[in-house]
Amino acid sequence: MSASVLVSSTAQKMLPPEAQKKMQCWIRSRHLICSGHFFVFETVEFSTVERFDECVKSLGGTLICVEPIKKIWIGNHRQVILYQAKASLHTPHHKLKQYWIKYGSFHTRFDERS
């Protein structure tokens, strides 16, 4: 059994109130947007994608895919990979969508249009 499997099986599950607060924070910081029936999350840290997956699962949703979409510059000397994760929450009128309508954006902080 690999170490990553062992760590994930022994880790405590995130509770829904904590998951919702974390996702609200990502909405306000423009890391998380709503696009149609999906939530799209962008970050340069893969460990944050793993936390996003935990949040989605805690709220009854499913992580659909994670893709490295491009390399971006951080400062003048460092290039990093930008990851995009797409998830679906199974509840059609979830409070998170209403929160995004009130506080969110149509573009992430990494979108060149914003």
CATH number of the domain at 48, please. 3.10.28.10
For the cut 80, the answer to whether the pLDDT of residue 14 exceeds it is: yes
Residue 45 lies inside a defined structural domain of this protein: yes
Cα 28 to Cα 4: distance, rounded to the nearest angstrom:
31
* Number of domains making up the chain: 1
Which domain, by its residues, includes 26? 15-103
For the cut 70, the answer to whether the pLDDT of residue 96 exceeds it is: yes
pLDDT digits (tens, 9 = 90+) for 60-87: 899 999 999 999 988 888 999 999 999 9
Residue 110 lies inside a defined structural domain of this protein: no
What pTM was computed for the model? 0.83
Residue 109 lies inside a defined structural domain of this protein: no
Cα 1 to Cα 95: distance, rounded to the nearest angstrom:
38
pLDDT band at 11 (very low <50, low <70, confident <90, very high): low
Residue 111 lies inside a defined structural domain of this protein: no
For the cut 90, the answer to whether the pLDDT of residue 6 exceeds it is: no
For the cut 80, the answer to whether the pLDDT of residue 5 exceeds it is: no
Residue 26 lies inside a defined structural domain of this protein: yes
